Amino acid sequence: MSDLSAVIRNPVLRGFNPDPSILRVGGDYYIATSTFEWYPGVQIHHSRDLADWRLLTRPLTRASQLDLRGSEDSGGVWAPCLSHSDGLFWLVYSDVKRRSGAFKDSRNYLVTAENIEGPWSDPVFLNASGFDPSLFHDAGGRKYLLNMVWNHRAAHRKDTFGGILCQEYSAAQQRLVGPARVIWRGSGLGLTEGPHLYRRDGWYWLLTAEGGTGYDHAVTMARSRNLWGPYETGPGPHLLTAKDDPGWPLQRAGHGDIVETPAGDPYLVHLCARPLPGLRRSVCGRETAIQRLDWPAGEFPRLAQGGTLPAVEVAAPGLPPHPFPPGQGDIAFAPGPLPAALQWLRSPEPGRLFSLGARPGFLRLFGRESPGSRFEHAAVMHRQTEWCYDAETELEFAPAGYQQMAGLICWYHAHLFHYLAVTAGEAGGRELIVMSCEGTYPAGTLRYPLAAPLPLPGSGRVRLGVRVRHDRLAFRFAAGDGPWQDLPLTLDASLLADEAGRGGAGAFTGAFVGMAAHDIAGTATPADFAWFRYRPHGAQAV
């Protein structure tokens, strides 16, 4: 075993990065996480020491792999699973087209690549029986797909999760073959999903998520001598959960995957959340943490620190430190790809939403449909990674009327956002407004919290800023080279969280902040943004 002296501090992937799947190839570690309705699909982070991570790539970049137009909020890409076999990287993922109501339309796909950074293949359709697919490479080269199976007939919510389905996959035929069988139905906590299968010490070990992705979330393991079962549930029965300690700093812990270092040290990655102090609202969304395991031969694994609670500080393996340069807080724009920290929503045709070449040195957003459109929403945004941050931008924008607007938006989904926007009044003059949507999912009421719009000069640049401190959000602005002016209102930042929608179960992503342009008249009025700045505060605070 290696010398465990350094410390990993959780979460290792801060801000919206849920459902981690981890892979080691040689001395390189990769984590794939869900992106839901955000484009491009799947985030893959890279590390060489398990402590320091960098965003490496997003593999689903074109319409043949992923088209999210029309997808519901928190639909889209769920629970990717990354593996390596036969000289290829294999990535399976769900594209959830319907997630609300009794039915789930979940299409499961496979893409491959020789290099982790691509190019990645066009997808192979696998099945649509449920979500959270996982590919297991067994001895002798045989491969098996696992996913949870959806039972729309169930009378109770937890029974709609009908167990873990397993079926052989033929790489030669590029399709599933043989019977599909439910191999395990869970420990009794319910909502069994997120399967990963391992072979070790003559056992098949099945790791799953249970309890839903809220505050009852858990990681549970079962094992069998035979791939098809029967599986016996581990003691406890949960390997990891925070459900019994509501005051613990890392909540909603579940949906895990296991990796081993070359020295044989096992680690578990899992999702977690950091609720705001005194509030059960996780504005940074579901994040990724890592735990060291003890896994004696032939026994069920357990957390190295004992118990089931996720640790904030974890002993790191004795690997050489491999830090990466810090991410850029100040983002300038130049022709070429969009800066890696930024994403957009749903569309595989980004050229209809924005351009970095139309006006070199600026990000041009083409005003498209309304805030929350499921088809063409011209918004480019940055994850919120800490409870407290400042964000700023500067834009040039000439709206023709009140149906054109552009500015700085703090976003969760179509019915939870705060928007500081430049627009035009009834008489045609430019003005500044604030729009807030604070309703519960799936419908919210749009309100205008400023007593009256603020007049702006008829032309010239406008700087826009936001200051977020825990649950308090305050906008400010400056016209041209003038001084910053604080708006006379404070908004609720805690609404931009999973738990704020539909009794705490409305959605599963995280808060973003960024630039947006809307033109509901359909004339694609452009807005030019000169730069964007995101500066988190308190990055070492849990």
DSSP of 108-177: EEEEEESSTTSPPPPPEEEE-S-S--EEEE-GGG-EEEEEEEE-TT-SSGGGGEEEEEEEEEETTTTEEE
* Catalytic option among 37, 210, 287, 376: 376
The 10 Å CB-count burial string (b at 16+, else e) for 233-244 is: bbebbbbbbbbe
**Would you say residue 388 has pLDDT above 80?**
yes
Domains, in order of start, for the chain = 18-241 (2.115.10.20), 330-537 (2.60.120.200)
What's the mean per-residue pLDDT of the chain? 95
Nearest to 57 by CA among 119, 11, 8: 119
How many alpha carbons lie under 13 Å from residue 189 in its C-beta half-sphere? 25
Question: pLDDT-derived band of residue 226, with 50, 70 and 90 as boundaries?
Answer: very high
Q: Which one has a higher pLDDT value, 4 or 423?
A: 423
Residue 54 near residue 113, CB atoms below 8 Å? no
pLDDT single digits (tens) 172-217: 999 999 999 999 999 999 999 999 999 999 999 999 999 999 999 9
Structure tokens, 447 = 């309100």
Told to judge if 376 belongs to the known catalytic residues of this protein, a careful annotator would answer: yes
Q: What does the alpha-carbon distance between residue 183 and residue 190 come to, in Å, rounded to a whole number? A: 15
The confidence score (pLDDT) of residue 83 equals: 98
**What's residue 539's pLDDT?**
53
pLDDT at residue 337 is higher than 70: yes
Q: Is the peptide bond before 119 cis (omega within 30 degrees of 0)?
A: yes
Instruction: Evaluate whether 328 touches 341 at the Cβ level (below 8 Å).
Output: yes
476-501 pLDDT per residue, tens: 999 999 999 999 999 999 999 999 86
Q: Please say if the pLDDT value at position 155 is more than 90.
A: no
Say if residues 422 and 409 touch (Cβ distance below 8 Å).
no
pLDDT at 141 exceeding the cut of 70: yes
pLDDT one-digit tens code per residue, 436-479: 998 754 556 789 999 999 999 999 999 999 999 999 999 999 99
Is the pLDDT at 2 greater than 70? The verdict is: no
Question: Does 509 have pLDDT greater than 70?
Answer: yes
Q: Please answer whether residues 448 and 455 qualify as being in contact, where contact means their C-beta atoms are separated by less than 8 angstroms.
A: no
Radius of gyration over every alpha carbon of the chain, rounded to an integer in angstroms: 23
C-alpha to C-alpha distance for 521 and 365, rounded to whole angstroms: 15
Per-residue pLDDT reduced to its tens digit, 37-73: 999 999 999 999 999 999 999 999 999 999 999 999 9
CA-angle at 165, arms to 160 and 169, nearest 5°? 145
For the segment 414-430, the average pLDDT, to the nearest whole number, is 95
- Ranking 144-158, 339-353, 513-527 by mean pLDDT, the lowest is 144-158
- Look up the pTM and report it: 0.96
Question: What would you measure as the largest C-alpha separation in the chain, in angstroms?
Answer: 77
Query: What is the pLDDT, as a whole number, of residue 506?
Result: 63
